[in-house]
Amino acid sequence: MTSTHAPHWVIDMTLSAPSLGDNTADADRLASALKKALDVDTVHMDLNLLRQLPDQLRQWNYRLRAVVFKDIAGSGILVHLAAADSSQVCYGLAVDLGTTRVVLRLVDLKTGDHHGEVVFDNPQISVGPDVLARIHHVENKGGLAQLNQLIIDGLNAQLDQLCKAGDISPQQIHLLAIAGNTAMTHLLLGLNPRWIIREPYIPVVNQPGIMKSRDLGIKVHPDARAMVFPNVGSYFGGDLIAGMLYCDMDQREDTAILVDVGTNAEVVLGNRHWMMACAGAAGPALEGGVSRMGTTAGPGVIDRITIDPKSLHFDIHTIADQPARGICGSGVIDLAAALFRSAMIDIRGKLLPERCGERFSMRNGLGHLTIVPADQSGTGRDLCITQADLDSLIRSKAAMYTILETITGTVGMQQSDLETFFVAGTFGAYIDPISAITIGMIPDLALDCYQSLGNSSLGGTTRVLTDPGCVERVRHIRDSITYLELNVNQDFMNRFSAAKFLPHTDTRRFPSVQVPGNGSATNPP
Amino acid sequence: MTSTHAPHWVIDMTLSAPSLGDNTADADRLASALKKALDVDTVHMDLNLLRQLPDQLRQWNYRLRAVVFKDIAGSGILVHLAAADSSQVCYGLAVDLGTTRVVLRLVDLKTGDHHGEVVFDNPQISVGPDVLARIHHVENKGGLAQLNQLIIDGLNAQLDQLCKAGDISPQQIHLLAIAGNTAMTHLLLGLNPRWIIREPYIPVVNQPGIMKSRDLGIKVHPDARAMVFPNVGSYFGGDLIAGMLYCDMDQREDTAILVDVGTNAEVVLGNRHWMMACAGAAGPALEGGVSRMGTTAGPGVIDRITIDPKSLHFDIHTIADQPARGICGSGVIDLAAALFRSAMIDIRGKLLPERCGERFSMRNGLGHLTIVPADQSGTGRDLCITQADLDSLIRSKAAMYTILETITGTVGMQQSDLETFFVAGTFGAYIDPISAITIGMIPDLALDCYQSLGNSSLGGTTRVLTDPGCVERVRHIRDSITYLELNVNQDFMNRFSAAKFLPHTDTRRFPSVQVPGNGSATNPP
């Protein structure tokens, strides 16, 4: 695509000096140059910038560096001015505002280079681990203010550290781009999220737009602007829109699918002509399954597991090769696939005691499979997966598959027509597509169709800081999305039931998956 | 003209309540209704308004009153929200920011009713009486801040009084419209005006636009917005643009002329198709003349004077019928016209001692005419006009006439083609057109062509507060004006010289004026 946009938000320019033949006002002179560079009709300038302008222009001999931004209505905003030859780098801050973890990334607004990153737990975890618990906390007196303060204080403290580490002043940060789910966005803005989770599920705002960072309480340059990514609704947040921007879905000629396997199951299908999204309704099954079971990645957490189908030897890899103390989401999917391949679970995901041997035990009436015995684990206790965990995983994978089937079906596509399948989210980054295909969580596409995006929310916010065309693209993406309400009707439930087998009742959909045993998958009990 | 604009800035509306079939976000629901009412594409809402929105909408059952405004780029701004049945009146404040005097007027934003007015001396007078002195004061350390503080403090104090008198809280004021000349506007905004008076005469800003009143330091509702009228340049300020709005110049089919005889001579000629303005270059003559000589109107100041051409009896009227202690601008023009009619001055404006009799005296080598002798004056001293005063008046009136001649000539019109001649400004309000015609200050049009606008700057700011279409009109007026630089070239000087006679060298231009004496006006020495 050709673009008339300025190459970055930092523009070096030389204005013509005033004369009797050109006695334009200082601000108009600058605005006119900025309008041209930004291809906009108006440029807003704060009073405090205007107050310094006449002295600065003359002192700098009309050669200057402007940090600019655009609002969602398409007007330009003057954010900062410096001498053209200033040695001070102008930074932007990209913020991935996760429910569980928050990531900050410093970006050089001119070169696009990254200048450090920090990951930290969302301090709101102290109030509640998930979205629901935090929204309920708002009912308590001062609850909203407390949640808002927790994230703002956390951001400021981490930002300060990040700047210190990079020998940068927070005053050098002029632009922020922030993406989170709808609830996290509301808590960041101090907006009451209580109606997000109550029928008919109403957010306070879908398009927060561009605001002053200081109005949010974020301690960067006092004139800095923050773009908070818009939501489509209560269950489709700015993090997903950042992901769509990051994978250029809005500019692709071919139809791609983007799946974010995070706290919720969120799926977008589309291309430059149309985009369709769904999320939420079937999410709780997935959330209760994979995510809750999986431990946050860290030393000693199992992330890869294979089982020799003959010897049934478990080959386990832990992060940092420490003794095992948990298993993360990708490990659970690997485990389920390996158990299925080695016929230790059946097509319903039920543990087969005779095949599991001494790894199997009944505890409190619940089947357990020992992954790592107490004497080898990092906790001194058996590291187990239970039948309930596996049942939950089956429901989750079935929900994911059904959502994918539903959304492609809605636009008249076969899943097999998909050529590009983006997997977003830190969880998604570690999933082995072969394992996920084996359990029938995702369609049986050629492996090179699958592309892990990593933290696409952070990627999208970074893009906004380095490519002025992206503000308009974000607005366009938000406005273009058709949000598909997942009607959990009989049809959906039939598809869901069929997907609750490994890999599926219809094994023809998964030609690459070898179904062990007697092929009973085609004749479920 | 038909208009799609909302009838006022206060809009009562009932939103549809959210449902599963319409789960728009609260802010989007409100924005969509406001966009329709205001006929705009976007509506900006501050974070602090958004924070209260969800509770308010539900508490008010989606029936609400919104105070809105528009920025110059044509976007809507949500300024305030209240319940639809709130009994609290929403006010606007119109501000005429004069160099000498400031006028505040409270306006009911819904009905347009005026709720009190206050006139006070611009407190910056303590620093300097005129624009030039104040701009020079900026060179002193802290001078700009001092001047800014003087006017802001003055505004706040007077506003407070005005509100107390009307039993209104300043918190009920949500919109402000402010018009002043370019220098006064700069000082109000805290912008350095130093380059306004230095070649090539560059203001800091021409379009201050819409800002938060609190950013200006004006103590009204913290979310209130202020529209500061734009300037065309250093010598054509927002007060004139307010005047053009007030007389609907931009909507008239016929060509009208607007003359503001204030500190400066400012003239606009135009209609709905084009507008041409000039001001400044020849102004100092007028300023040094009429305005400086004239005392501010007040008790004991002569505002009307006639002389019986036979008895030479002076019939003097003073304000409040107090003993005379000065003469205001309109009195000076009356006096000059009367002296001319009674042949006490010649066509050059020179005092004729033999005709003036005992009223004439030479003091310090300068001719004096006693208007009121010491024993009848309010000062105990002779109230006189000097030959220097008269010379200055002649230069002033000649400058005014020449500017009028030049601007009409530029567009190919004769002055006699003019059908509507608006005279603006408090000074203008008192001028007797017959006297002004007699001395050849203004063209010899039918008297009903002349319309006194009074304080048109205040009138224009009031219009903006009560008619939402006016924000766009102000922008349009500003952008449409062709500013005519008065080239003081030989041509101009020739016209100026010809106009330095009473009423003019070419008496055919003033058929209504009886030239006394021997008709030497057609043969000037």
The predicted model gives A123-135 an average pLDDT of: 94
DSSP SS3 for A302: strand
pLDDT surpasses 50 at B439: yes
Q: Residue A331: name the closest of A369, A299, A290 by CA.
A: A290
The residue among B24, B28, B194 with the most chain A CBs within 10 A of its CB, best to mutate, is B28
Chain A CB contacts of B199 under 8 Å are: 20
At B258-309, the pLDDT tens digits run 998 765 678 999 999 999 998 754 433 444 444 445 566 788 989 899 999 9
pLDDT surpasses 80 at B375: yes
The predicted model gives B245-264 an average pLDDT of: 89
DSSP string, A144-164: HHHHHHHHHHHHHHHHHHHHH
Please name the member of A25, A42, A190 whose beta carbon is closest to the beta carbon of B203.
A25
> How many angstroms separate the Cα of A157 from the Cα of each of A102, A150, A152, A162, B354?
12, 11, 9, 9, 90
DSSP character at residue B88 = P
Specify the pLDDT at position A7.
85
Please name the member of B25, B41, B195 whose beta carbon is closest to the beta carbon of A202.
B25
The predicted model gives B188-203 an average pLDDT of: 94
At A319-378, the pLDDT tens digits run 999 999 988 888 889 999 999 999 999 999 999 999 999 999 999 999 999 999 999 999
- Please enumerate in sequence order all residues whose Cβ is within 8 A of that of A447, keeping only pairs 6 or more positions apart, or say none: A433, A434
The predicted model gives B410-416 an average pLDDT of: 92
Q: For residues A185 and A191, give the distance between their C-alpha atoms in angstroms, rounded to a whole number.
A: 8
Chain A CB contacts of B192 under 8 Å are: 51, 54-55
In SS3 terms, A17-66 reads as CCECCECCCHHHHHHHHHHHHHCCCCEEECHHHHHHHHHHHHHCCCEEEE
* β-strand partners of B452: B423
Q: How many of the other CB atoms lie within 10 Å of CB of A33? A: 19
Please name the member of A202, A206, A209 whose beta carbon is closest to the beta carbon of B18.
A202
Q: Which two tokens stand for residue B196?
A: 């306004």
Put simply, the answer to whether B47 touches A189 (Cβ < 8 Å) is yes
> How many angstroms separate the Cα of A299 from the Cα of each of A296, A328, B412?
10, 11, 88
Q: How many of the other CB atoms lie within 10 Å of CB of A141? A: 7
Nearest chain A CA: its distance from B148 CA (Å): 12
Nearest CA in chain B to A196: B25
Contact A233/A207 with Cβ under 8 angstroms?
no
Identity at A351, one-letter amino acid code? L
Chain B CB contacts of A54 under 8 Å are: 191-192, 194-195, 202, 204
> How many angstroms separate the Cα of A310 from the Cα of each of A306, A439, B126, B253?
12, 20, 99, 97
The predicted model gives B466-489 an average pLDDT of: 90
Q: For residues B210 and B229, give the distance between their C-alpha atoms in angstroms, rounded to a whole number.
A: 9
Per cent of chain B over pLDDT 70 is 93
Average pLDDT of chain A is 91
Give helix A387-410 / helix A490-498 axis angle, nearest 10°: 120
Give the N- to C-terminal CA distance of chain B in Å, as an integer: 54
Please name the member of B73, B199, B204 whose beta carbon is closest to the beta carbon of A26.
B204
Chain A CB contacts of B22 under 8 Å are: 200
At B216-245, the pLDDT tens digits run 999 999 999 999 999 998 888 999 999 999
Please name the member of B23, B42, B205 whose beta carbon is closest to the beta carbon of A27.
B205
Q: For residues B77 and B212, give the distance between their C-alpha atoms in angstroms, rounded to a whole number.
A: 11
C-alpha angle B342/B344/B350, rounded to 5°? 135
pLDDT surpasses 90 at A381: yes
Q: For residues B144 and B136, give the distance between their C-alpha atoms in angstroms, rounded to a whole number.
A: 10
Identity at A380, one-letter amino acid code? G
pLDDT surpasses 90 at A4: no
Contact A246/A453 with Cβ under 8 angstroms?
yes
Please name the member of B24, B211, B231 whose beta carbon is closest to the beta carbon of A47.
B211
C-alpha angle A173/A177/A180, rounded to 5°? 135
User: Which run of H or of E encompasses B13?
Assistant: strand B10-14
User: Backbone phi, then psi, for B86, in 5-degree steps?
Assistant: -60, 135
Contact B445/B418 with Cβ under 8 angstroms?
yes
> B524: pLDDT confidence band, cut at 50, 70 and 90?
very low
Which of A260 and A248 is assigned the larger pLDDT? Answer: A248
Q: Residue A270: name the closest of A244, A234, A238, A231 by CA.
A: A244
Nearest CA in chain B to A17: B200
- Please enumerate in sequence order all residues whose Cβ is within 8 A of that of B49, keeping only pairs 6 or more positions apart, or say none: B78, B80, B81, B223
Specify the pLDDT at position B265.
74
At B63-112, the pLDDT tens digits run 999 999 999 888 999 999 999 999 999 999 999 999 989 999 999 999 99
At A468-493, the pLDDT tens digits run 999 999 999 999 999 887 767 788 88
Put simply, the answer to whether A204 touches B26 (Cβ < 8 Å) is yes
At A203-256, the pLDDT tens digits run 999 999 999 999 999 999 999 999 999 999 888 899 999 999 999 999 999 999
Contact B9/B108 with Cβ under 8 angstroms?
no
A114-121 sheet: strands from edge to edge:
A114-121, A101-108, A91-97, A173-180, A225-228, A209-212
C-alpha angle B16/B22/B23, rounded to 5°? 105
Nearest CA in chain B to A206: B25
Identity at A261, one-letter amino acid code? V
> How many angstroms separate the Cα of B279 from the Cα of each of A18, A133, A382, B243, B487?
20, 67, 91, 14, 11
- Please enumerate in sequence order all residues whose Cβ is within 8 A of that of A231, keeping only pairs 6 or more positions apart, or say none: A181, A182, A185, A203, A205, A206, A237, A238, A241, A478, B25
Chain A CB contacts of B47 under 8 Å are: 189-190, 208, 211, 215-216
Q: For residues B173 and B223, give the distance between their C-alpha atoms in angstroms, rounded to a whole number.
A: 10
Which of B519 and A464 is assigned the larger pLDDT? Answer: A464
Longest dimension (CA), chain A: 97
Q: Which two tokens stand for residue B334?
A: 């009356």
What is the distance of C-alpha A167 from the center of its chain?
29
Average pLDDT of chain B is 91
In SS3 terms, A225-256 reads as EEEECCCCECCECHHHHHHHHHCCHHHCCCCE
Which of B192 and A424 is assigned the larger pLDDT? Answer: B192
Identity at A65, one-letter amino acid code? R
Please name the member of B20, B47, B194 whose beta carbon is closest to the beta carbon of A200.
B20
The predicted model gives B320-344 an average pLDDT of: 92
Please name the member of A41, A205, A215 whose beta carbon is closest to the beta carbon of B26.
A205
Contact B57/B15 with Cβ under 8 angstroms?
yes
> How many angstroms separate the Cα of B171 from the Cα of each of B94, B159, B179, B221?
15, 11, 22, 4
Nearest chain A CA: its distance from B266 CA (Å): 19
Nearest chain A CA: its distance from B27 CA (Å): 5
Contact A105/A114 with Cβ under 8 angstroms?
yes
Specify the pLDDT at position B521.
40
Specify the pLDDT at position A234.
87
Q: For residues A205 and A191, give the distance between their C-alpha atoms in angstroms, rounded to a whole number.
A: 8
DSSP SS3 for A432: coil
Contact B76/B44 with Cβ under 8 angstroms?
yes
Q: For residues B185 and B99, give the distance between their C-alpha atoms in angstroms, rounded to a whole number.
A: 10
Specify the pLDDT at position B297.
72
Q: Residue A100: name the closest of A133, A118, A124 by CA.
A: A124
Put simply, the answer to whether A191 touches B50 (Cβ < 8 Å) is yes
> B486: pLDDT confidence band, cut at 50, 70 and 90?
confident
Q: Residue A153: name the closest of A217, A83, A63 by CA.
A: A217
Cis peptide before A200 (omega within 30 of 0): yes
What does chain A come to in residues?
525
Cis peptide before B503 (omega within 30 of 0): yes
Specify the pLDDT at position B352.
96
Q: Residue A154: name the closest of A117, A124, A115, A127 by CA.
A: A124
Q: How many of the other CB atoms lie within 10 Å of CB of A84? A: 15
DSSP SS3 for A479: helix
The predicted model gives A139-161 an average pLDDT of: 98
Put simply, the answer to whether A18 touches B191 (Cβ < 8 Å) is no
Chain A CB contacts of B20 under 8 Å are: 199-201
This prediction's pTM: 0.90
Nearest chain A CA: its distance from B63 CA (Å): 17
Specify the pLDDT at position A284.
39
User: Backbone phi, then psi, for B497, in 5-degree steps?
Assistant: -60, -40
Q: Which two tokens stand for residue B40?
A: 């705009």
pLDDT surpasses 80 at A142: yes
Beta strands of B143-253 (E only): which ranges? Answer: 173-180, 209-212, 225-228
Specify the pLDDT at position B492.
85
**Could you report the predicted ipTM of this complex, rounded to two decimals?**
0.88
Chain A CB contacts of B471 under 8 Å are: none
Chain A CB contacts of B231 under 8 Å are: 25
Put simply, the answer to whether A203 touches B25 (Cβ < 8 Å) is yes
* Sole residue written with tokens 């080898």: A376
The predicted model gives A407-434 an average pLDDT of: 87
**How many A-B residue pairs are in contact by the CB < 8 A criterion?**
129
Nearest chain B CA: its distance from A6 CA (Å): 21
pLDDT surpasses 90 at B395: no
At B318-327, the pLDDT tens digits run 999 999 998 8
Specify the pLDDT at position A162.
98
Contact B251/B190 with Cβ under 8 angstroms?
no
Contact A261/A400 with Cβ under 8 angstroms?
yes
Chain B CB contacts of A487 under 8 Å are: none
